[in-house]
């Protein structure tokens, strides 16, 4: 991959990076009033869902952006094809992904009466946004774009290695998107303000070594700066991981500064007195081409699944009484609305044919949200010898043993998490006793406690972090 000259500014201070000095490729936008805030459409990454934008949306709301101007979308089939030119069950091409976003933006413009939207994308979502803006009429409907951890120049640039994947620097999409568009070789579509956010060296998909793509020790010919784009404002966030380029407080602060022209009042989440939760309950599909190959992620509803919510003791995860909410999932996939107590921890129990009964435990919700998406788990064949199974997961970032303070069931070393690097977002323990007991996961001050359940009866415990 050629090294491009890019304007880059380093933001110091991961947690509270609110004093941002921009070296911009375009003028800083004036600060609009609250009533003039444009609608924002949030596009998730490969295999992900709208749920990952939960805390980002909370931070926008906490700084006065109207809730009805914030739209996080769920792409039904969020995984990219292995080869963009060949149809693949349960996966989408770059063209299909861009067409999906085109439809969603048109819906938002019609619903709000706005003339243009702002687009925020993480990872593959950035490819989708760039393709939409450049090739699907988005340039006239988008005022600004923010891309976090976007593989703008690919994840690998290796001759003969899966060159038709959209993540290859040699793919038709990446080559076309990065063609010069101005006298200085700009790689971004003109008429739209562009911001890229990247890690200094901690993004698993912007690494010179192929360790995170299954080729340790092999050069990817991609550098840490690969997510930056010539013609954009390019910001480096120290030590953030791939997902944190979009979902961390530092990413929010840089995004707000870029859009509004001044630092946000806060990067914290401001609590609400009344909290109403909702989201979609979706599942996994089995590959029709090769069922033995396992499952693929999708954002399709599990119709007729049962969702039961229990209030729990935050210290132990034990239920404190009878169910506080029940729902049979319909065609829209929605499991709410549910009025929650903002200081209460909850267990979400999911039962659905073909899945384990999944007991998902979450820490209290300080604000309302309509993107609390839930998925049941399946028991892997290798785990069927366990008496109980507990998974500790961080959807909006990765575990970094060198950077983070973590404990899982009392142990500082999380199973499956390497001693160096940010590339694993979940850890699993297999217990040898069916006797129910409390189990907790801790990460940088957030603690989630749950109860174990017998695996032989088809149960899994999931401890899911919010931050």
Question: Which of 254-263, 279-288, 448-457 has the lowest average pLDDT?
Answer: 279-288
Helix 249-260 to helix 54-62 angle (10° resolution) is 50
Q: Is the pLDDT confidence value at 22 over 70?
A: no
Q: Quick one: which of 441, 427, 299 has its CA closest to 371?
A: 299
**Relative orientation angle of helices 94-112 and 124-135, to the nearest 10 degrees:** 70
* pLDDT value of position 297: 85
Higher pLDDT, 143 or 5: 143
Please count the CA atoms within 13 angstroms of the CA of 409 that sit on its side-chain side: 19
* Topology (CATH level 3) of domain 8-260: Rossmann fold (3.40.50)
Sign of CA dihedral 14, 20, 24, 29: positive
pTM of the model: 0.92
C-alpha–C-alpha distance, residues 342 and 366, integer Å: 5
SS3 176: helix
The per-residue pLDDT for 245 is 98
In the prediction, which pLDDT does 32 show?
A: 54
Query: Residue 422: is its pLDDT beyond 70?
Result: yes
Residue 14 banded pLDDT, cuts 50, 70, 90: very low
pLDDT attached to residue 296 = 73
Q: Do strands 438-443 and 446-451 pair parallel, antiparallel, or not at all (unpaired)?
A: antiparallel
Q: Which CATH architecture has domain 275-464?
A: Sandwich (2.60)
| Residue intervals in the chain for CATH 3.40.50.1820 | 8-260
Instruction: For residue range 86-133, list pLDDT tens digits in order.
Output: 999 999 999 999 999 999 999 999 999 999 999 999 999 999 999 999
Structure confidence at residue 418 as a pLDDT band (50, 70, 90): very high
CB 120 within 8 A of CB 40: yes
Q: What is the pLDDT of residues 175-227, one digit of tens each?
A: 999 999 999 999 999 999 999 999 999 999 999 999 999 999 999 999 999 99
Q: Where are the alpha helices (DSSP H) in 136-232?
A: 172-177
pLDDT band at 17 (very low <50, low <70, confident <90, very high): very low
What pLDDT was estimated at residue 164? 98
Q: Would you state the structure tokens that stand for residue 263, as one six-digit string? A: 């630092």
**Residues spanned by CATH 2.60.40.2190 within the chain?**
275-464
β-sheet bridge partners, residue 374:
281
Mean pLDDT of 264-286: 93
Instruction: Report the first-to-last Cα separation within the chain, whole angstroms.
Output: 34
């Amino acid at each position: 991959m050629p090294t491009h000259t890019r304007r880059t500014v380093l933001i110091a201070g991961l947690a509270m990076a609110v004093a941002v000095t921009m070296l911009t490729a375009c003028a800083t936008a004036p600060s609009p009033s609250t009533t003039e805030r444009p609608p924002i459409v949030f596009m998730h990454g490969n295999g992900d869902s709208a749920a990952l934008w939960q805390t980002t949306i909370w931070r926008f709301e906490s700084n006065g952006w109207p809730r009805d101007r914030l739209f996080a979308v769920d792409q039904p089939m969020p995984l990219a094809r292995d080869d963009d030119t060949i149809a693949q069950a349960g996966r989408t091409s770059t063209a299909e992904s861009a067409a999906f976003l085109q439809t969603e933006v048109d819906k938002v413009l019609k619903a709000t009466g706005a003339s243009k939207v702002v687009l925020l994308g993480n990872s593959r979502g950035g490819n989708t946004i760039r393709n939409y803006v450049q090739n699907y009429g988005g340039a006239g409907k988008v005022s600004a774009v923010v891309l976090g951890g976007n593989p703008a120049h690919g994840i690998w640039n290796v001759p003969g290695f899966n060159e038709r994947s959209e993540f290859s620097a040699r793919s038709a999409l990446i080559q076309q998107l990065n063609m010069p568009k101005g006298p200085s070789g700009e790689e971004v579509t003109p008429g739209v303000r562009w911001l890229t956010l990247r890690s200094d060296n901690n993004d698993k998909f912007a690494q010179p070594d192929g360790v995170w793509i299954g080729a340790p020790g092999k050069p990817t010919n991609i550098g840490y700066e690969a997510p930056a784009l010539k013609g954009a404002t390019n910001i480096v966030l120290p030590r953030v991981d791939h997902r944190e380029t979009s979902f961390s407080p530092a990413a929010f602060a840089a995004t707000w500064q870029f859009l509004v022209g001044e630092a946000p009042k806060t990067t914290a989440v401001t609590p609400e007195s009344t909290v109403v939760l909702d989201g979609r309950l979706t599942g996994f599909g089995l590959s029709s081409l090769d069922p033995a190959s396992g499952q693929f992620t999708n954002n399709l509803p599990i119709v007729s699944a049962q969702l039961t919510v229990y209030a729990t003791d935050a210290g132990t995860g034990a239920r404190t009484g009878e169910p506080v909410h029940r729902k049979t999932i319909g065609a829209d996939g929605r499991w709410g609305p549910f009025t929650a107590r903002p200081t209460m921890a909850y267990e979400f129990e999911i039962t659905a044919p073909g899945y384990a009964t999944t007991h998902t435990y979450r820490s209290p919700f300080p604000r309302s949200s309509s993107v609390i998406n839930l998925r049941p788990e399946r028991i892997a064949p290798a785990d069927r010898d366990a008496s109980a199974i507990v998974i500790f997961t961080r959807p909006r970032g990765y575990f970094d043993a060198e950077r983070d303070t973590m404990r899982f069931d009392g142990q500082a070393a999380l199973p499956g998490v390497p001693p160096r690097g940010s590339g694993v977002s979940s850890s699993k323990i297999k217990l040898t006793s069916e006797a129910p007991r409390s189990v907790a996961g801790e990460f940088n001050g957030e603690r989630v406690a749950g109860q174990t359940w017998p695996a032989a009866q088809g149960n899994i415990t999931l401890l899911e972090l919010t931050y």
